[in-house]
Amino acid sequence: MEVLLAIMIGVLYAAGIYMILRRSLVKLILGIIILGNGANLLIFLLGRVVKGSPPIIPADSDVFQSIYADPVPQALILTAIVISFGLQSFAIILVKRAYKVVKTDDLDEMNAIDKDS
Amino acid sequence: MLFAILLGFAFSLFLVFAGKFFKGNFSILAAGIPLALFVYFSQFIGRISNGEVITEFHSWIPSFGVNLGFTLDGLSLLFSLMITGIGFLVFVYTSAYMKNHKYLDRFYGYLSMFMAAMLGLVLSDNLISLFVFWELTSISSFFLIGFNNTSRKSRKSAIISLAVTGIGGLSLLVGSLFLGSITGTYSITEMLSMNPEIFSNPYYILIVLLIFGAAFTKSAQFPFHFWLPGAMKAPTPVSTYLHSATMVKAGIYLLMRLTPVLGDHEFWNTTLIIVGAITMVYSAIHTLFRTDLKGILAYSTIAALGILVFLIGQGTKEALTAAAVFIIVHALYKATLFLVTGIIDHQAGTRDTTVLRGLRKVLFPVAIAGFLAALSSAGIPPTIGFIGKELTYESTFHLENMAVLFMALIIITKILLLYAGFVAGIKPFAGALPDRFVKTRMPSPLLWVPPVLLAVAGIVFGIFPGLIEGSLVKPLVSSMRLNGEEIHLKIFHGFNIILLLSVITIAAGTILYFIIKPTKKLEIWIGKFEKFSPQTLITNGWTFFYKFSNIWTNIFQNGYLRNYVSTIMVFTIVLIGYTFFTTATYSVDFNTFSPITVYEAVTSIVMLIAIGYTVFTRSRLAAVAAMGIIGYAICILFVIYSAPDLAMTQFSIDTLTVILFVLVLYKLPKYLKLSDYKMRIKDGVLSLAFGTIITLLILEVLAEPKNSAVSDYYAENAYILAHGKNVVNVILVDFRGADTMIEISVLAIAAIGVFALLKLRLKKSDQR
């Protein structure tokens, strides 16, 4: 299964970068979101994946008795998801504002406007 | 001595606050500073001539061996007296020359800053502090050349001179570091005894070249000479002080100071002789083609500096004595000529030799000063210039190799310098007075007394050479580790070949003066060779460098996000790809991986379709929805792989993002395909390549054993230390609680940003 996950991460990265390379601002944001998802999965996979044993200590014990999923990558990813939400929401609103002001979402044209002013 | 050096800096700092006071009639008071310093240094003459060396030591950065060590010996004493003595006269002269100038206070500030830096330079015993003062003189010179900062030419000259001397300064620093690492000290005094180690070091040649780089740029030796004529854009007091009497001699000083450390080596001597000879002949010839008085003086200064380098290169006691005398000679007559030129410019309004005539009738004392200085420059007895010339001829005459050739070169130089001296010192005053100068008025004594004093000193020292022999020349030669006792300066050496050569020089020079008249034609003619001059070559290199960096910047800083991203991606792919294919083990063991179940297969297929849809759809709504599906698919993967907390977070955040997108969707731009087919193929290939690299890397990393020390610690202590059974939660809110708090702050800031953007109302004028 790890091979499948590795391929999926590769696809997510490829899709994310392809979207970032577009000229449309909306696509840029979607690209960043997809790339972020890929990065999260990457961290998750590199911490090794285990099925059916979440990092929760059984109720009748003080320590783990058997194999468990690595909690550190999970904590990292949880933080990453929340932070990327901050970034995404800000970016979405920023694009909306920018579009209202400059009336274009073509990154190349925005560049030109910047030069003129 | 530290106090003496700091006085100049303190005064320039003081002028920042009290500048107004020194702008008006009180400006002459500024001359008190150099006068006081001159008196201070004069009191050491007695002790120094008895062979004493006065030292002073202050720790600065002892851990690096960088200290403020000062040595006052014969060499530094001569320079200190020149700096403060001529400085005093220049300060006095300036008060009248630039009277009521808007920025007179600033001018004095730069001048005294320069004076302090120059004193520090000649007194420093530590190479690093010498370098610091060296750079300070370059910087103050920059400000003084560009003083007339509304003129484009002034600014350009200032930048060129700063660039040339600044590069030389860096070369000095590197040379000093080399010397310091070989000898283990930066003190020049301590280096004196380490001569053998330095000579036998394989880097000896490189060190000498670096020191030459510094000395030749500062002292305007060929091919770095071109900044000096440009520096004549500065007001005349500056040309007198910095670019003739003191600063340009810093290179000479450095060579003399390091002669006992680095000198007496074939490479040292030969290089100096050749460079000095080229410089003196080249620039002496150039004086023939100038019509601007200051231009003539600039080139004759370069020639004089060339003679000094030439003499230092000979390295014998005779030659160094000649150099010592010639430094005094040159400082006296060249400063006079510059000051005289300044007066002519100030009173008659032109520096053009082709029109200046007969001014003795209106500027008599100035004419006397010019005449005496011209005599000294020509080396006509009984001036001190004659003694200097005799010594120069004598030492060159005794050269071991090619004495005849160098003798011829030095005679040619001297003939041309005699011509230059006459044109600058005598020609403007000779002949009948043209009508346009009839109304020329005598200037204030503050202007004409300084040059007269200097010119008279040249005669007095010539008649009574004993005045400088024991006090200045002998100690100077002794300070270069040579026995100065046998030196005896006299005006008449008896009838010998040297005297004959002197007579020939004077006769030939005088004839030249009467035959050649400076004309514009000659100046224009020589201008045709400008194409091949070092200045043009360097300026072209400069322009090329500008163009090159422009192109460079335009390639990498082009303002297009996708180009930046592509560049980073290509670089990463090539770098990681190369390392990967050369070092990877390819030992992926598929047996260690868990089998694929139907849940995972279905989730992956859904995700793939969603990704494809997001990338290729033309509808915004569909793309956003597909993006949401990707998130949900990842959410399911988290569920399968025992990460319930992640699944919950991903689910809620993904939902929120989609909702936010949809809320503003219709205010967002249309979802157009802006790029063409080719571009999309190119980007596609790039993205797929990067994705492949990532996948291969993951497989490679998975084959490596995993270090889980940190995870084990958290897992074992989650309940024992933090009393929570959900380890992920415990990490977030307890072990790394502070991080989480900061994360919440980041979210709060983002929320404020979003709120502000939503509420922002642009004024009409700000809208497009």
Q: In this structure, which topology does domain A2-52+68-116 adopt according to CATH? A: Helix Hairpins (1.10.287)
Distance CA B449, CA B366 (A): 8
Task: Report which secondary-structure segment, H or E, holds B512.
Answer: helix B497-515
Distance from CA of B575 to the nearest CA of A (A): 18
**In a mutagenesis test of the B interface, which of A2, A5, A21 is the best target, namely the one with the most B β-carbons within 10 Å?**
A21
8 Å CB contact of B768 and A33? no
B348 within some domain = yes
B550 touches chain A (CB under 8 A): no
Q: Which residues in chain A have their CB less than 8 angstroms from residue B702's CB?
A: 2, 6, 45-46, 48
B359 within some domain = yes
Are the beta carbons of B387 and B264 closer than 8 angstroms?
no
User: What is the domain count for chain B?
Assistant: 2
Q: Which residues in chain A have their CB less than 8 angstroms from residue B687's CB?
A: 13-18, 21
**One-letter amino acid for residue B54 of the chain:** I
B331 within some domain = yes
* Closest CB from B640, B667, B674 relative to A24: B674
Question: E-strand spans in B501-575?
Answer: none
* Closest CB from A8, A75, A113 relative to B604: A8
Question: What would the DSSP string read from start to end of B647-682?
Answer: HHHHHHHHHHHHHHHHHHHTTSPP----S-HHHHHH
CA-based radius of gyration for chain B? 38
Distance CA B87, CA B658 (A): 78
User: Which one of B480, B495, B518 terminates a domain?
Assistant: B518
Distance from CA of B85 to the nearest CA of A (A): 57
Q: Which residues contact B479 (CB under 8 A, 6 or more apart)?
A: B53, B73, B74, B75, B76
User: Which one of B471, B493, B518 terminates a domain?
Assistant: B518
Are the beta carbons of B299 and B286 closer than 8 angstroms?
yes
B361 within some domain = yes
Task: Report which secondary-structure segment, H or E, holds B66.
Answer: strand B66-72
Structure token digits, residue B211: 């020191």
Are the beta carbons of A90 and B679 closer than 8 angstroms?
no
State the alpha helices, DSSP H only, in B58-103.
74-97
B:353-412 residues touching chain A, CB 8 A cutoff: none
Structure token digits, residue B537: 């070559």
8 Å CB contact of A14 and B667? no
Q: Which residues in chain A have their CB less than 8 angstroms from residue B607's CB?
A: 8
* Closest CB from A7, A52, A81 relative to B650: A81
State the alpha helices, DSSP H only, in B557-667.
561-583, 598-616, 620-640, 644-665
Distance CA B199, CA B562 (A): 58
Q: Which residues in chain B have their CB less than 8 angstroms from residue A107's CB?
A: 560-562
Distance from CA of B718 to the nearest CA of A (A): 8
Q: What is the pLDDT of residue A115?
A: 47
Question: What would the DSSP string read from start to end of A59-114?
Answer: TT-SS--S----HHHHHHHHHHHHHHHHHHHHHHHHHHHHHHHHS--BHHHHHHHH
**In a mutagenesis test of the B interface, which of A4, A24, A68, A109 is the best target, namely the one with the most B β-carbons within 10 Å?**
A24
**One-letter amino acid for residue B643 of the chain:** A
8 Å CB contact of A69 and B643? yes
Distance CA B68, CA B768 (A): 62
Q: For residue B768, give Cα distances in angstroms to B310, B668, B684.
A: 70, 17, 35
* Global confidence as pTM: 0.71
Are the beta carbons of B600 and B637 closer than 8 angstroms?
yes
8 Å CB contact of A89 and B754? yes
CA dihedral B746, B749, B754, B755 (to 10 degrees): 140
Are the beta carbons of A74 and B646 closer than 8 angstroms?
yes
8 Å CB contact of A42 and B688? no
Which of B709, B705, B725 lies closest to A64 in space, CA to CA? B725
Q: What is the pLDDT of residue A51?
A: 85
* Closest CB from B669, B716, B728 relative to A63: B716
Q: What is the pLDDT of residue B767?
A: 53
8 Å CB contact of B562 and A107? yes
Burial of B247 (0-12, 13-18, 19+ CB in 10 A): buried
Q: What is the pLDDT of residue A117?
A: 39
Q: Which residues in chain B have their CB less than 8 angstroms from residue A51's CB?
A: 594, 640-642
Nearest chain A residue to B703, by CA? A46
Structure token digits, residue B214: 């510094």
Are the beta carbons of A30 and B658 closer than 8 angstroms?
no
User: Which one of B472, B498, B518 terminates a domain?
Assistant: B518
B539 within some domain = no
Chain A and chain B share a number of CB contacts under 8 A equal to: 281
Q: What is the pLDDT of residue B98?
A: 86
Distance CA B283, CA B288 (A): 9
Q: Which residues in chain B have their CB less than 8 angstroms from residue A63's CB?
A: 715-716, 719-720
Which of A105, A108, A112, A104 lies closest to A29 in space, CA to CA? A105
Distance CA B120, CA B533 (A): 34
CB atoms within 10 A of CB B535: 17
Show me where the domains of chain A are located: 2-52+68-116
Distance from CA of A116 to the nearest CA of B (A): 12
Q: Which residues in chain A have their CB less than 8 angstroms from residue B720's CB?
A: 62-63
Question: What would the DSSP string read from start to end of B690-751?
Answer: HHHHHHHHHHHHHTSPP--HHHHHHHHHHHHHH--SBHHHHIIIIITHHHHHHHHHHHHHHH
SS3 state at B101:
coil
B767 touches chain A (CB under 8 A): yes
* Closest CB from A68, A75, A99 relative to B731: A75
8 Å CB contact of B597 and A81? no
Does residue A17 register a pLDDT over 80? yes
Peptide bond before residue B382 is cis, with ω within 30 degrees of 0: yes
Angle between helices B293-314 and B266-286 (to 10 degrees): 160
Distance CA B480, CA A35 (A): 72
Distance CA A82, CA B152 (A): 57
Give the residues across from B126 on adjacent strands.
Answer: B187
B98 within some domain = no
8 Å CB contact of A113 and B768? yes
Q: For residue B642, give Cα distances in angstroms to A43, B439, B637, B707.
A: 15, 104, 9, 20
**One-letter amino acid for residue B154 of the chain:** S
8 Å CB contact of A21 and B698? no
Are the beta carbons of B110 and B12 closer than 8 angstroms?
yes
Which residues in chain B land under pLDDT 50? 768
Burial of B427 (0-12, 13-18, 19+ CB in 10 A): buried
Nearest chain B residue to A81, by CA? B650
Domain that holds residue B415: 268-518
